[in-house]
Amino acid sequence: MLELKNISYIVEENGQNKVILDDISLTIDEHFVAITGPNGGGKSTLAKIIAGIIKPTAGKIFLDGEDITGLDITERARKGISFAFQQPVHFKGITVKDIVSIAAGRTMTTHEVCDILSEVGLCAREYVDREVNNSLSGGELKRIEIAMILARGTKLSLFDEPEAGIDLWSFNSLIKVFEKMREDINGAILIISHQERILNIAEKIVVLVNGKVSQIGTKEEVFPKLLLEATHCDALHHE
């Protein structure tokens, strides 16, 4: 499905090179893969590189065997990559129905939009004509962000911390959304998350630390070491 070969991303900061991603190679063939690891480890950068928002400094990306490294965001979206942002974007004047229709690539009926919104736990009728702006709460915007991915139904869906900014009550119902998606999806879900309940349903977990893959495996393989790493004090480690 998705293959990353020797992906590196280096930026210049105060005249010095800073390595954000360091020679990452990964293959995603499972239905549900989670990427986790400490903040600043390069997870979001990796997702943006897959979606084409950031160009890697080195390395190649293959989707179903096709080299997509040179393709832009739109071309990758059309090849079947969807990306749910960690921070949903606001649009003045664009309604929930509009944006879900744009995602689906066709004008959807209110009924169709309602069906998708219900799947992400929004009481649909109240939302279809609302604008996608700050009149909606963070949790509502995150659900709409997920609804867009469902409307697209592409072969690869990337989620960057879908739990961020969501209260515990909403999160409980959101987990059900992902569990259902895991059952229904034909393609693959790649999800960046810190939530144990999300990691629990992943077939494979990738741990990214300081721009490198520190572990890959099932939760049984990864969890014990993950807890060890969590107790490690980073500041002391560097000294």
- Asked if 89 interacts with other proteins (CB under 8 A), we say yes
Q: Which is nearer to other proteins, 47 or 207 (CB)?
A: 47
d(CA 196, CA 202): 10
Q: What is the spatial order of strands in the sheet that 188-192 belongs to?
A: 81-84, 156-160, 188-192, 32-36, 204-209, 212-217
- Asked if 93 interacts with other proteins (CB under 8 A), we say yes
Q: What is the spatial order of strands in the sheet that 2-13 belongs to?
A: 16-28, 2-13, 58-63, 66-67
Residues 2-61 that bind other proteins (CB under 8 A): 51, 53
- 10, 19, 71, 102: which one contacts other proteins (CB under 8 A)? 102
d(CA 145, CA 99): 9
- Asked if 70 interacts with other proteins (CB under 8 A), we say no
Phi, psi of 149 (to 5 degrees): -65, -40
Residues 124-183 that bind other proteins (CB under 8 A): 148, 152
d(CA 163, CA 143): 10
- Asked if 216 interacts with other proteins (CB under 8 A), we say no
Q: Which is nearer to other proteins, 18 or 78 (CB)?
A: 78
Q: Which residues bind other proteins (CB under 8 A)?
A: 51, 53, 72-74, 77-78, 81-83, 85, 87, 89-95, 98-99, 102-103, 105, 148, 152
